[in-house]
Every structure is written in C-alpha cells, then in structure tokens.
Structure 1
Amino acid sequence: MIILHNYFHTFPEFPPECEFKYAPENVSRFTEAMLSGNLRIIILSLFSFLGHYGVSIFVFVSGYGLSKCYDHSGESKWYIILRRAIQLWKWLVPMALLLILDRYSGYTHFTYAYLGNNKIWTDMLFMLTFTANGLADRFIIAGPWWYFGMAFLLYVIYALFLRKSSDKVLWGIIAGVWTLLIVLSSLGLDNWVFAFRYNSIGWLPVFCVGILLSRHPVYISWRWISLGVVLFVLSLFNRYLWVVSPILALFPVAAVLPLARKEPLQNVLLFMGKLSAALFVTHAFVRQQVLAHDQALPPEISGLLYLLLCIVVAWVYRLCLTCFYKKIHL
C-alpha cells in the first residue's frame, strides 16, 4: 500500500496525498478523480491519495507491540531504546554504506539521484542518529526514510514516558495533540502542522491508541466499524476531521481484517510482513530507477513492474543481511 502510494503519487495525473498537512487542492483533484468514471484513474488515485495511511497502521502496530512486549517486562528503558536503535541500524547502515560507495564510484548512480548532493555526509549523520526529522523543510537521503526517525522518537517517548503511564495520561496526550493540530490548522499555520506531522508528536494519538488497545482489548461491532469507515471518508474532505484521520483509518482495516485471516491472503500478508523493513529501506531506490527507465510504459504496468522489483530487491537484501548477521552472531 505504502510502496504503491510512493510510486503513483509521482505522476501528475494522480492526486498527491494530504499526509503532513491538509491540502485543499489535493482534495479537489482526488474528488475529480473519483467522479471521473474512469476505473483506471479511480484505482490508481486511491493508491496515490490514500496509500500513506499505511503509516498510521504501522504506528498503531508499533504502539500495540511495544506495550505487549515491555509494559510488564523487567528491561530498563535504556535497554529498550538501544535495542530498537540497533534493530533499525541493522537495516539502515548497510544501505548507507552502499550509498556512500555509489556516491564516490565515478559511475552513474544506480541508487538515488540525490547522491549528487554534497551534503551526503551530514545528511547521513542526521539519518543514522534519527535526528533528520528536525529538518522539517526537506526530505533527505530517500523520502520514505523520514519514517525511521519518527518511529525511533516514538520508541524513545514510550520507553521514557509512556511505558508506566496511566490511561488518563494517554487520553490526555491524544486530546492535547489533536487540539494543537486543529488550532494550528484553523490559524492557517500549515507549516507548523507539517512540522509536527513530520515528527513523532503528530503521530502520538494513533501510537497511544495502540498502547491503550494492547492494555484493554475491545470488541468493536460492525455498527461502530461502519460508522468509523463513514467518518474516515468524511475526514478526507474536512480540514478538522483530517486531524483524527490516522485513527479513523483503523476502521477500514478492521472491516477487511476477516479477509486477511483466510488463506492464501494470510500467507501473502505474513510474507510481506517479514519483508516490510527491507521494503521500507530499499523501495525508494527501486522507484528512482523504474521512473527513469520505464517512462514509455503506462503507469499501471510500470507500477506492477516496480512492485515486483521492490519485492525481489527487498527479499535479496533481507536474505543477505540475515545470513550475514547469523554468521557474526548479531
């Protein structure tokens, strides 16, 4: 979902997303696409405009998983932070080394056009220290890599402040962040909204919901799921509802969850889940090459080729790293 979104939103014929701020012009283009009557435009526009909500799912699952693993464990907060950093570095550092080698190879860059930028060393430092999200005016290295800095800061916030926090504190954080973003949006301070959504603060509500549902599992009836889906659709067209859309995006997922539990779809999702980290690290570089060499193909065909190449590259990358880390017992 995220992989295809990051591909199709590069095409001018499909509406870009409202991921970091509410953009009325993007919403208008999405509305036009949905009313076009062209099935091809509709399907690809859904990926382009809505695919970024996959990030909401990842953040929710992160909060849920951290709470399940560490709420009642004996590990220290610093152990949790270091362990999470190492898990991310194990995926990022090898690609960073490849990027640096390619930057000074003297040949056409096979990885990313960004490598012509002389700031590669400082940007690598920002990325590997998970501080790149402080540069809210630009994306560095690879656009999708902004997620790693945001996710790591959420891990730190959980370990230091949320692990032993009460439910009231979590609800207070959710309400506080929502209020902050709504006020900023109503004042037209979209740059501030962007900055918070580019960082961990803007994602705290859905992260906290993951923690809460881990502590207090609930059964949600189809009536409430249906209402949530309707509210999610409405949130796509309203500046203020958009603020809560990352949580509302959980309802469409809940609606299709029964299908995901059936084979063979369950096996496909489990396979893709194992590849998710490698896909996140590598897919931007695959996208760069497909966009450069397959301009003659229709977007839907090049998109399928891109998805297939992403899976193959991620599988090879994961296999190589898994074998290497086993060999050195890391």
Structure 2
Amino acid sequence: MYWRTLDKIDSSLYKGIAILMIATHNFMHLFPKPKENEFGFYPDRFFDFLHLAYSEPENILRTSLSFLGHFGVQIFIFLSAYGLTKKYSSKQPDYWPFIWQRIMKIYPAFLIAILAWLIIVGWFIGDYGFLGPAKLLYANIIPLVLKLSLLSSFTPEYYFSPVGPWWFIPFIFQFYLTFPLLRYLHSRYGNRALLFLSLTSLLISLLTQGKIGELNLYFTVLGHLPALCLGIFLASNDDKKINIPKSIILLALGVFLLGNIYETFWYANHISFLILILAFLTYLSDTIKNTRTIRKTLLFYGSLSMPLFLVNGFLRAPFITWAIDYNHWSLTLILCLISLSLSTLVALALDKIEKRLMLKIEWETPRSLYNQFTQCLTKALTRVK
C-alpha cells in the first residue's frame, strides 16, 4: 500500500470522520462502561470493552465509539501538522505573524462558543435561574481564565473544566507555538530530527509513566510528538511514493493490542492506532470519494469541525441522562443522533455569526497595529511642532 497525498478535499473528508468520531465518543463514553484509555493505562477498560462486545453485540457501536472514538483527536493532530507543513513547505514561518494568524483562527470561534455555553447552559439546561449566565460565569471564572490563557494543561484539577472537550484548545496552541521550531529542526536535520523527537517523546512517557509530578503529558504537546512528527514527515515527502509495508500495519496492530494489556506498550498506543486509521482511510479513500452521500456528509462535517467540536460537549444533556437511565441500544443511538443534530444546528449558527463578525471587523496583526500607531503618533507630533 502506498501513501496517497492529501489534497484539500481529502483533508476535509478526514476532518469529517474525525469530528464525527469525537462527537459521538463524547456522548457514548459517559456510560459507566467501557471507558477509554486516552490519558492513562487501565487494562480493565480494555477487558470491559471485550466483555461487552461479546455479551452485548447489539451495543457494539456504542462500546466501540466509547473505547475508540477518542482517536479522532489523533487525526486532527496529524492533519494540523500535515497541513501547516504543506503550507510552509518552501519557507520558514515568521513567528509572531504565524502565532497571530493561529490566534485569529481559533479565539473568535472559542469566545463565541463560550458565550453560547453561558446562554444555553445558564438559561436552558442548567438550574441557575434568571441570572443563569452570570451565575455560570462566576462559578467557572477560574477554569475559563485558565483555558483562555492556555494554562489549563498545566493545572490537573482544571483539565476538563468547564467543558470536557475544551482541553484540546490549550494543547493545539502548544503545537502552534512549537511548530516553527519543529519546522526549523526538520529543515536543518531532516527526518532524523523527527525520529529523534518521536523516540524521545515515547521514552520520556515510558520513564515517567506519562506524568511529571501531577502533570499528565498527554495534555501537552510532548505526549503527542509522534503524531505531529508523522504529519510533518508525510507532508514533506509527498513527492515520493511512500510504501506502507504490511509489516508496519501488522506491527502497529500488534503494538496497539499489547498496549491495552501491558503498560510498556501503551505509550505507543496513540501513534500505533493513528497508523492503523491512516492505512484504513487510504484503503477506503476511493470508495468514500465515489459514494456521493458519504462524501457530501463528511465534507459538510469537515467544514463544520471546529464549531461542532466547541459545542458538542455541553449539548449532551439531557439526552445522555435519558440514554443511561433507559440503557437500550436503539434508544441510545437515537438520542445520540438527536444530540449530534442539535450540536450541528448550534454549530452552524455560531459558524455564521463568526464569519459575519470576521467580515465586519478588520483584524490586523499586532505588528500592523503597532506600525499604524507609530505613524499616527509621528503625524501628531509633527503637527505640534
């Protein structure tokens, strides 16, 4: 099997798959069992998954999404590195303008999502009364400040506060802050740098058991360097026909299975399963593109992935409560689809609001603002003289 270069259509299709995996996982994993092994090694969770798959085959979709759906995050991590490497394939990004572009890509949508969370949860879902949004804001001011300042990744008690999936925002900014350095190291030292960084990340995770003190490395860029380096490597070698031997795929499968049983192998679970997903999607890419309904659906969700990611976490209630209370496979799927549909509608609304806002406001880089300020100041001083 040969790696196929990803164009914009492919990337959007992969984003669609990733966000659907994540949104449905965020619903299904709230059931008591099975939980996922996303941020730590718990072999009993794997055996819970196997037991439920065998004893409750009608629930196989729920249990699979609960245990495996979080790997959609790895697809996003890979695509972020892949896309930026393609964009800056012939030049080194200018650091501060690059960071500002990333801020303007994420923060407006994030701030609008926070406002929507305050209104929807404060007035309609939560029991906060007439002053619901204000009370909700006051109760969560610390985790919100930590999220917006990108510090929540380093404060374990606030990893998942105030909305679970938002843990990803500080992490992805850590990648943006380090990407110019990764790009520089790769351009200077080649693929050896990527291999060294990946192996170092795995070794540190293994030796520290994924934690430095109370800090979980999988909430930081250090824990996901192999996926990022893989994205940089494949994007940089798209002009070559990269063969993916069956032995690599079988090795990745073996490491993943062993990683759910033995802790030593678990630290390679994220990268091993990512390799399996990419191989699977490469194999199915033609089928996905040629099946009109699937293609249109995935492209739609791929274009909506950011706002949907930001809102699905607080739109699970009350549907998840009903699903857990009744615990019937068909009702669970129906309620999950209702929750996903509601999240989609809200995401569409927020996406339109953000686009209109960005059109009305002329966002400048800090350097441009500084230049404009100094020019105005100079003119004013000249007139005074």
Find out whether 1:286 has 2:307 as its counterpart: no
Q: How far 1:11 sits from its partner (Å)?
A: 1.0
TM-score normalised over the length of structure 1? 0.87
TM-score normalised over the length of structure 2? 0.75
Find out whether 1:327 has 2:360 as its counterpart: yes
CA RMSD between the two structures: 2.9
**1:73-222 map, 5 Å:** 73=91, 75-100=93-118, 108=127, 116=136, 118-138=138-158, 139-159=160-180, 161-165=181-185, 166=189, 167-185=191-209, 195-217=216-238, 218-222=242-246
C-alpha spacing 1:116/1:133, structure 2 compared with 1 (3 Å):
same
Find out whether 1:29 has 2:48 as its counterpart: yes
Find out whether 1:247 has 2:254 as its counterpart: no
Q: How far 1:179 sits from its partner (Å)?
A: 0.8
SS at match of 1:249: helix
Q: How far 1:193 sits from its partner (Å)?
A: 8.6
More relative contact order in 1 or in 2 (CA 8 Å, sep 6+)?
A: 2
Cα separation, 1, equivalents of 2:216 and 2:263:
17
What stretches of structure 1 of length at least 5 have no aligned partner? none
The structure with more radius of gyration: 2
SS at match of 1:164: helix
SS at match of 2:234: helix
C-alpha spacing 1:168/1:256, structure 2 compared with 1 (3 Å):
closer
C-alpha spacing 1:74/1:227, structure 2 compared with 1 (3 Å):
closer
Paired AA for residue 265 in structure 2: L
C-alpha contact (below 8 Å) 2:112/2:350 kept by paired residues: no
User: Which region of structure 1 is more displaced relative to structure 2, 52-61 or 290-299?
Assistant: 290-299
Paired AA for residue 194 in structure 2: L
C-alpha contact (below 8 Å) 1:15/1:29 kept by paired residues: yes
C-alpha contact (below 8 Å) 1:21/1:193 kept by paired residues: no
User: Which region of structure 1 is more displaced relative to structure 2, 251-260 or 138-147?
Assistant: 251-260
What stretches of structure 2 of length at least 5 have no aligned partner? 1-20, 364-385
Provide, for residues 128-150 of structure 1, a one-character-per-residue CA deviation record: whole Å limited to 9, x for no partner. 12221111233212000000110
Paired AA for residue 243 in structure 1: Y
Provide, for residues 215-262 of structure 1, a one-character-per-residue CA deviation record: whole Å limited to 9, x for no partner. 123232456435534443443333222211211122332223323333
C-alpha contact (below 8 Å) 2:117/2:311 kept by paired residues: no
SS at match of 2:263: coil
2:299 corresponds to? 270
C-alpha spacing 1:109/1:52, structure 2 compared with 1 (3 Å):
farther
